[in-house]
Structure 1
Amino acid sequence: MSEAQAALMGLARDFAQSRLAPGAAERDRSGAFPADLYKEAAEHGLLGVNLPERLGGGGLGMLEAALVFEQFARVDGSFSLTAAASVGLTAGHLHRACDDAQAERWIPPLLRGELGAWALTEPGSGSDAAALRCRAERRGDGYTIDGAKMFITQGSVFSVMVLMARTGEGKGGISAFVIEASDAGRESRPIHGKLGMRSSDTAEIVFQGCEIPGGRLLGAEGEGFSQAVATLVEGRFGVGALCCGLGQGALDAALAYAHEREAFGRSIGEFGGIREQLADSAIGLAAGRELVTRAARLLDSGEDAADSAARAKLFASEAALRSCDQSIQIHGGYGYTDEIPAHRFWRDARLLTIGEGTSEILRGVIARSVFA
């Protein structure tokens, strides 16, 4: 790690520990998102560090973005997920597909702390993304959107959304569009009662006669699916980094408790069974972090990172879940309460073997690469 990368990681860690950690548990209980802290993160230059400076980004690489996502998640998974969806998926897709005028209109606000959403999943199509049914019908110089999207992060609080909709048949009949918060004909319905990631907004979105101008099309008609696939590669890498942070936060809590808690006249950290669990967590997270780093380097070099990103996301998400589970076990009865953060880390981590590619889908992606 270079000195500059270490300095960025330190800045992100200090912000996370001093600004995010104190209210994370209460935000988890209330479901309130800290919009003020998100804008503060933007002011510190912690959003979009991998995007061009001319658009308000840091002009750095994906590895630097991973360092930031991990430090956020180490104390607050919801905050990190929001950043990953807004400046990762949404701004990343826009940067890939926009012309210069579109990029200058929509990306800088996201890097200043406004929220972006990325809408691919539908009530009837998750892993089978190419089966989406939301339609964009050409009407004169614009398009009319009809259909629904489901489980969209920031779906009820976004200022800019990238929407995948059908303009033809098959994978080649999917196009990408920008929806702005002020567009009529769109209703967002927040989803409550989530297991975890409670202070990150999630919504169902229904479009009924939502009319948008033709200039909202990203690229050409029919390019939306290929754009989405490329965006998901970066998204999976970002989620891998987030997973490492959640797992590390759970490990941090378990280590602290193992030092403090005494049983049979000594700290429980002196018992072999506890030490083995801590070691297993540390090994899994270190391996996951290396896979994330490899994917980041491939992305930064312009090489094909689809397989590496799938491996990073798959391994890191499952390693994080194990680390969180072991942290609860080490905390004993206290781990089953909201007095300590281990249970919150576990609930947050449980999403990450599902979102942005289930473990089953990712194993299929990796298997195709292995057998190629």
Structure 2
Amino acid sequence: MPVDRLLPTDEAHELIDLARQISDKVLDPVVDRHERDETYPDGVFATLGEAGLLSLPYPEDWGGGGQPYEVYLQVLEEIAARWAAVAVAVSVHGLSCHPLMTFGTDEQRDRWLPDMLGGSTIGAYSLSEPQAGSDAAALTCKATAVDGGYRITGSKAWITHGGIADFYNLFARTGEGAQGISCFLVPRDTEGLSFGRPEEKMGLHAVPTTAAHYDDAFLDAGRRIGAEGQGLQIAFSALDSGRLGIAAVAVGLAQAALDAAVAYSQERTTFGRKIIDHQGLAFVLADMAAAVDAARATYLDAARRRDAGMAYSRQASVAKLTATDAAMKVTTDAVQVFGGAGYTRDYRVERYMREAKIMQIFEGTNQIQRLVISRHLARG
């Protein structure tokens, strides 16, 4: 059922309605086929870009939507309620625009941002490495300065949209220690850049996740974003926003599972009554609804702090932790509501449960979120 949202403007209500219409007409009819067959949904991201849904939180000067982050996240939630894999890729695209928007020069922004924000080019984020997931300071992919630019050698892992995205935020080592990481904007057709076969994942099958390999790949100096050694600052500045994106996706997924469970409980009968009329089951549904509403409140609180220019790092971690744990619990309970039928692929809830698990892992595991929160508390 549609979520009744409190939004700041009439324009925001129109954007939510647009997101719902596109999600219902374009995404929902084909999601089951693509997820089952593990095929990429050609044209979907172009449609979202043409509708302006890929650029909502960015300034209008470069083709963005100029919308508050709280509106963007609620659009993302609407997309996720129909197709989590697409919503994750939309969130990652937004994350991949952040370094250029925030740390790039005006010349770099003028050159690349309009296509990125208009959706004609789709981005990916390549921070993690096989041996450096949560420990970003342990990166070994190397960028060696040469005449006119850099030579890149090394590998990256867990890249959403890997091999398909048009550009990649690359974080590579240009010096020693945590201050020796720099950020680069890499086009897909860079000579010496190749991609591994897509990972065989538990869920989110329609959008590939791959490794990337750089074999003495040359990058022009103009493709470095920010100063040398500023890479981790750039990466971490984007991660708080990215964590809110995943929180919104998790809430959308949980809302879809709740809606499916409620609808099924109103149709299925046992002992002469609808199963929703049995108190034991009704209380499970009530707990699911409370978890979804509470999770949504955490990401909206963090987003409103971000929009107001307030510190929101702790709140972003709280939102990511709360929303993704809620998604795991709610989707698991949805399978339980369906009983044996929920364990089959005849219904979407088994896919929702598989998709929820990764939400607790990427954009910083939930153990990392607890570390971030506790460090904020220790600082007072």
**Which TM class, normalised by the smaller chain length?**
over 0.9
Separation in 2, partners of 1:38, 1:188? 21
Could you report, residue by residue, the CA deviation over 1:27-70 in whole angstroms, capped at 9, with x for unpaired residues?
10122222312111111121110111122211111111101110
Match of 1:371 in 2: 378
TM-superposed deviation, 1:297: 1.1
> Counterpart of 2:207 in 1: which secondary structure?
coil
Identity across matched positions, percent: 36
TM-superposed deviation, 1:192: 3.3
Question: In the TM superposition, what are the counterparts of 1:81-160 in structure 2 within 5 Å?
Answer: 81-86=88-93, 88-113=94-119, 114-160=121-167
TM-superposed deviation, 1:111: 2.7
TM-superposed deviation, 1:294: 1.1
For 2:28, which of 21, 26, 32 is the aligned residue?
21
Q: Quick check: 1:271 aligned with 2:278?
A: yes
Separation in 2, partners of 1:213, 1:170? 24
Match of 2:301 in 1: 294
For 2:186, which of 179, 185, 190 is the aligned residue?
179
Q: Quick check: 1:45 aligned with 2:49?
A: no
TM-superposed deviation, 1:76: 0.4
Q: Quick check: 1:312 aligned with 2:319?
A: yes
Instruction: Report the TM-score, using the length of structure 1 for normalisation.
Output: 0.97
TM-superposed deviation, 1:127: 0.6
Match of 2:329 in 1: 322
Kindly indicate whether the alpha-carbon contact (under 8 Å) linking 2:55 and 2:118 is maintained by their aligned counterparts in 1: no
Separation in 2, partners of 1:353, 1:213? 37
Q: Which runs of 5+ in 1 are unaligned?
A: none
Look up the equivalent residue of 1:137 and give its one-letter code: T
How many residues are treated as equivalent by the alignment?
371
Runs of 4+ in structure 1 displaced over 3 angstroms? Answer: none
Range with bigger deviation, 337-346 or 73-82: 337-346
Q: Quick check: 1:220 aligned with 2:227?
A: yes
TM-superposed deviation, 1:274: 1.2
Separation in 2, partners of 1:111, 1:296? 20
TM-superposed deviation, 1:128: 0.6
TM-superposed deviation, 1:353: 0.3
TM-superposed deviation, 1:183: 0.7
> Counterpart of 1:190 in 2: which secondary structure?
coil
